């Protein structure tokens, strides 16, 4: 991938940005992970993640243009300009690059201060981070029995909560409405198969990926009530014209004994404010890759605390996002539980030198080494370069 750099002209009084690299790792036919690496003139490197499947070429182009204005500048001077805006015409593409750069620069600053990244973010509020297993990508056998086996594997590994996106092929904007009932029923069978497999005490989260309309969501809540879901996530589009429907569904979810979660694609505190202030959701799920990096995520968490809404970061992608989210959650108020992508690929560990977060009593222990705690393995990156994903490899572009 392209690289931007400048030559050193002498010893710096403070760290300056010498090189910025967009780095893409192909993980599978369905997944690329996108990282940003910033090298300072003192030799330190900071890393962030910007993964946005299917948009890597556009991200790379934006990263090159945006980063050109940062080369040679002091790290402390560029941090204040690394902001994202809900109204930006660049949308998630621009926000992902800026968010990853903010992560990388914050990593540099923590390394320079010789402290773990979470210590730089503010007061450490907890000793470890509760996590749940997203088993969706790892569950390649999509039968109810296959999904159930993936859930058992997660529980055996020590997770006390699992999440699945069971409604493959469902979308209520589809003209082939006759095919929907069977697809929905199969999704519900997957949910009940998990409940039977893991028993009554394991939390189950269900991600709908915005596939339903209001009426279908209300019917779904009725049909899965006996599965005792911990939360139902992203059932309908979260555009402003659906806010009234979300409010009604929020009330029905409470009556059905489950929580309503979502808002993973919102940008900046302003993008999350309606969901939090108007209590459209019980749980908001900002993503450090899109919402603005560490500092903006902490602002969102503070707003959650103010309005008694839970903060549960979205984190179904690569290992740098996972580590960034772990550090963030150590310092975030209103934090509930962190998502973890389970068993998608061994590259998850290989690209960060074999580092594996330690799971103890359903919680990850966070590294206490300076910065984020890992570096990227260039040999692994070179061995698995970017690959264009086939059309349809990921979510239907109409969803959301």
pLDDT tens digit sequence for 134-152: 999 999 999 999 999 999 9
What is the average per-residue pLDDT within 87-112?
Answer: 97
For residue 396, the model assigns a pLDDT of 74
pLDDT, position 174: 79
What is the tens place of the pLDDT at every residue in 249-287?
999 999 999 999 999 999 999 999 999 999 999 999 999
Question: Which pLDDT value is given to residue 5?
Answer: 43
For the chain, domain boundaries: 4-115, 119-371
Q: Is the dihedral of CA 244, 187, 173, 262 positive or negative?
A: positive
Q: Please state the separation of Cα 322 from the chain's center in Å.
A: 8
**Residue 4 above 60 pLDDT?**
no
Report domain 4-115's class.
alpha beta
What is 119-371's CATH superfamily? Enolase-like C-terminal domain (3.20.20.120)
Closest to 20 (Cα-Cα) out of 96, 84, 91, 73 = 73
Confidence of residue 397 (pLDDT cuts 50, 70, 90): confident
Backbone angles phi, psi at 306, to 5 degrees: -65, -35
Question: Concatenated DSSP letters for 183-227?
Answer: HHHHHHHHHHHHHHHH-SSSEEEEE-TT---HHHHHHHHHHTGGG
Mean pLDDT of the chain: 94
**Predicted TM-score of the model (pTM):** 0.95
């Amino acid at each position: 991938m392209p690289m931007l750099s400048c030559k050193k002209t002498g010893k710096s009084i403070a760290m300056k940005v010498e090189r910025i690299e967009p780095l893409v790792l192909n993980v599978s036919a369905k997944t690329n992970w996108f990282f940003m690496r910033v090298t300072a003139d003192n030799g330190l490197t900071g890393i962030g993640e910007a993964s946005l499947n299917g948009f890597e070429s556009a991200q790379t182009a934006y990263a090159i243009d945006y980063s050109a204005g940062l080369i040679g500048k002091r790290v402390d001077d560029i941090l204040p300009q690394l902001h994202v805006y809900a109204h930006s015409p660049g949308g998630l593409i621009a926000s992902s690059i800026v968010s990853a750069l903010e992560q990388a620069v914050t990593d540099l600053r923590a390394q320079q201060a010789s402290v773990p990244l979470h210590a730089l973010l503010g007061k450490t509020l907890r000793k470890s981070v509760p996590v749940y297993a997203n088993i969706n990508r790892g569950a390649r056998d999509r039968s109810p029995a296959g999904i159930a086996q993936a859930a058992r594997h997660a529980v055996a590994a020590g997770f006390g909560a699992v999440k699945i996106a069971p409604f493959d092929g469902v979308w209520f904007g589809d003209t082939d409405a006759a095919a929907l009932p069977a697809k929905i029923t199969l999704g519900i069978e997957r949910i009940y198969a998990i409940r039977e497999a893991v028993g009554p005490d394991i939390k189950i989260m269900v991600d709908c990926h915005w596939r339903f309309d209001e009426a279908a969501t209300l019917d779904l809540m009725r049909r899965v009530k006996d599965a005792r879901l911990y939360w139902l996530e992203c059932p309908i589009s979260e555009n402003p014209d659906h806010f009234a429907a979300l409010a009604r569904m929020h009330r029905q979810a409470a009556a059905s004994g489950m929580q309503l979660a979502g808002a993973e694609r919102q940008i900046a505190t302003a993008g999350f404010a309606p969901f939090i202030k108007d209590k459209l959701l019980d749980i908001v799920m900002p993503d450090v890759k899109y919402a603005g990096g560490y500092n903006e995520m902490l602002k969102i968490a503070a707003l959650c605390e103010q309005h008694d809404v839970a903060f549960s970061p979205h984190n179904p992608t690569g290992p740098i996002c996972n580590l960034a989210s772990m550090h963030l959650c150590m310092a975030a108020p209103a934090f509930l539980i962190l998502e973890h992508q389970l068993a998608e690929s061994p590259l998850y560990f290989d690209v960060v030198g074999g580092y594996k977060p330690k799971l103890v009593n359903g919680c990850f222990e966070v590294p206490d080494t300076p910065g984020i705690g890992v570096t990227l393995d260039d040999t692994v990156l070179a061995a698995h370069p970017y690959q264009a994903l086939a059309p349809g490899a990921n979510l239907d572009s109409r969803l959301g």
